[in-house]
Copies of this chain bind each other. A is one copy, B any other.
Amino acid sequence: MEIPVVKQILSANDEVAAGVRDALAQQGILAVNVMASPGAGKTSLILATAAGLPARLRPGVIEGDLASTIDTDTLTARGIPAVQINTGGNCHLDAPMIRAGLAHLPLAEIDLLFIENVGNLVCPAGWDLGADAAVVIASVPEGHDKPYKYPGMFAAADAVVLNKADLVAYFDFDLAYFERGLRMVNPDAPLFVVSCRTGNGVAAWVNWLVGRAKR
């Protein structure tokens, strides 16, 4: 009796996600679901990416957090249109939240929509938000074993960004081991090794993203 209920919930999300996807396609907006552990650098990557975009591609952000408006305050202070979604206790964004967020954004002035998910390397992977691509950010201080320990998240990525690469030596981070773990669950997603702090490597990631833009 319970399984049909769960099914209903999932397809309700997927139905809304399909609507979000259609709406974004009509507007010519590329949407990216940005997922990572807390503090891996989701907002930092969005800021660094926005700064590196060609002028014709204007960024916007849907910002997901359990609580607070810290990241949205940072983004809007830089002139990036952003809307905050506070999930309360919820450990991930879902498609109805995205639909609600879109209503508060100036979509005609956005070409590239970043959806910053709740900081969580487990739960967000299972939810279709209607985005065109999923990017997973890992960060060097978290350690090189993350793809082995959180395979579902890394399997779901269309691109993987390894941030805080300026600390590889300090943390004895074994990049080859990290990449082997990634390839076990995801043979194809490009891996971008970056430091949002120094800017190293960000251009290659931005190029990949720009190549997927719809206009």
Q: Could you tell me which A residues sit within 8 Å of B by CB distance?
A: 2, 5, 37-40, 65-68, 70, 89, 91, 118-123, 126, 139, 141-143, 145-146, 148-152, 164, 167
**A156 CB, min distance to chain B CBs, angstroms:** 12
Q: Please name 19 further chain A to chain B contacts, defined as beta carbons within 8 Å, in addition to the given A37-B38, A66-B122, A141-B164, sorted by A numbering.
A: A37-B39, A37-B142, A38-B121, A38-B150, A39-B141, A39-B142, A39-B143, A39-B146, A66-B150, A66-B152, A67-B150, A70-B149, A91-B122, A118-B122, A119-B149, A120-B121, A120-B122, A122-B123, A141-B141
Compute how far the CA of A40 lies from the CA of B146 in the bound complex, rounded to whole angstroms.
12
Which residues on B sit within 8 Å (CB–CB) of A126?
89
**A133 CB, min distance to chain B CBs, angstroms:** 22
B39-A151 in contact (CB<8A): no
B148-A68 in contact (CB<8A): yes
- Sample 23 A-B pairs with CB under 8 A, ordered by A number: A2-B5, A37-B119, A38-B149, A39-B139, A39-B142, A39-B146, A40-B142, A66-B150, A66-B151, A67-B149, A67-B150, A67-B151, A70-B148, A70-B149, A89-B126, A89-B152, A91-B91, A91-B122, A91-B123, A119-B121, A120-B120, A120-B122, A123-B123
Copy count, this protein chain: 2
Compute how far the CA of A120 lies from the CA of B150 in the bound complex, rounded to whole angstroms.
11
Among B38, B67, B68, point to the contact of A142 (Cβ < 8 A): B38
**A155 CB, min distance to chain B CBs, angstroms:** 11
Given A39-B143, A141-B39, verify A149-B68 contact (CB < 8 Å).
yes
Chain B residue nearest to A9 (CB atoms) is B2
Compute how far the CA of A37 lies from the CA of B2 in the bound complex, rounded to whole angstroms.
31
Chain B residue nearest to A152 (CB atoms) is B89
**A177 CB, min distance to chain B CBs, angstroms:** 11
